[in-house]
Structure 1
Amino acid sequence: MVLRLGTGDAYALLEALLRTEYGLERLPALARDGGGKPFFPARPELRFNVSHSGGLILCGAGAAAVGVDVERIRPRRTGLPRHVLSPEEYAWFVRQGGGWERFYTLWTLKEARVKCTGAGLSGPARAIAVPLLAPGQGGTLDGLRFRAYGGDGWRAAVCCAPPEQPPEEVPGQSEKNVSFS
């Protein structure tokens, strides 16, 4: 789910997602693994991930590892794409006409992969391989499944380990102000 929030937070949205999709009445107790990734000790079969940026929140949940990222598109320093994209990714970025929309599409795919695998951003970002996708496209790489999403002023990505499959569209996508009580 991607929502523009007026109040509430990522875990309130996660609780709503788990209630809707898994029938959970409330969010199970959280713990963090050695890498800092949150998980549910009482429900190890239920994997999840959350991301937020500029009032947007994205949640993903399933039986297999999942990583999600959402970013508001905003200009950054000019040399950033060359610094964080691999040579292949940078060449694709340039062939596609450059621009922050394309950069954030690749960046959210990288973040989603890191969050799915639990690898963290310990090394250079250009070493994190992702498929070259545009919003609305899906692909696989290294046994992981990816999907890129995008809208006016934002980009998002989901990365799943098999057997999960990222959704064709972001379920529950809304640009409304939402309040959780």
Structure 2
Amino acid sequence: MLKLWMVESDDAKRAAHALLEQKLSEYGVPRPEFDTLPGGKPILKDGALHFSLSHSGAFALCGLGKRPLGVDVERIKPRRPNLPRYALSEREFQWFTQRGSNWEDFYTLWTLKESYVKYTGSGLDRAARSIEVPLLSPGEEGQWNGLWFRAWGGTGWRAACCGEERPEAQLILE
């Protein structure tokens, strides 16, 4: 039961938290109590559900599941030209360049990496290029090192999730 919801808002951070509160209530957790793991990852104290939040620009993303997960959403915008070379592994960089070196593909890989580090709770505690993820396009899913990954995309954004459960194919836009 790994599900994701996304909204657009003028205050995406606030919207992500409101979305989490709404979805937890719908799943029978009206007054959630939170704690944090040693690396800083927020969790529900009762452990009945796991969640992950992300926001970027006007986009807010919330994921809920029965097992640990991580989600990420990014607004697509051009960055420093050398960023892909710095952030992607050799395998990922070759895939990126073979597809035309566009920012949409970079952000697909980046959201997959971010969803993975959010899953682990470690954050970017090492060089991004050392964190390898499956080579997915929006709408695709795959397993990598025993975890499920899925990528989504739309005009101006990319999103991904990583977790122990197979994610639902649909990203629900609210």
Give the TM-score range, shorter chain: over 0.9
Distance (Å, rounded) in 1 between the aligned partners of 2:66 and 2:134:
23
AA aligned to 1:46 is L
Question: After superposition, where does 1:79-90 map in structure 2 within 5 Å?
Answer: 79-90=82-93
Q: Which runs of 4+ in 1 moved over 2 A?
A: 6-9, 23-26
Q: Which residue of 2 aligns with 1:169?
A: 170
How many residues of Structure 1 are paired with residues of Structure 2 in the alignment? Answer: 168
- Secondary structure at the counterpart of residue 50 of structure 1: strand
Question: After superposition, where does 1:1-181 map in structure 2 within 5 Å?
Answer: 1-6=5-10, 8-20=14-26, 22-26=27-31, 28-41=32-45, 43-161=46-164, 164-171=165-172, 173-174=173-174
- Secondary structure at the counterpart of residue 123 of structure 1: coil
- Secondary structure at the counterpart of residue 167 of structure 1: strand
Deviations 1:65-88 (CA, angstroms, capped at 9, x unpaired): 100000000110000000010000
- When normalised by structure 2's length, the TM-score is 0.92
- When normalised by structure 1's length, the TM-score is 0.89
Q: How far is the alpha carbon of 1:5 from its aligned partner?
A: 1.4
- Secondary structure at the counterpart of residue 169 of structure 1: strand
Deviations 1:49-100 (CA, angstroms, capped at 9, x unpaired): 1000002111111111100000000110000000010000000001111111
Unaligned runs of 5+ in 1: 175-181
Distance (Å, rounded) in 2 between the aligned partners of 1:169 and 1:63:
17
Unaligned runs of 5+ in 2: none
- Secondary structure at the counterpart of residue 9 of structure 1: helix
| Residues 7 and 15 in structure 2, CA contact (< 8 A), matched pair in contact too | no
Deviations 1:118-176 (CA, angstroms, capped at 9, x unpaired): 23211110111100000000000000000000000000001011xx11111202x14xx
AA aligned to 1:86 is S
AA aligned to 2:29 is L
Identity over aligned pairs, percent: 51
More strand per residue: 1 or 2? 2
AA aligned to 1:122 is D
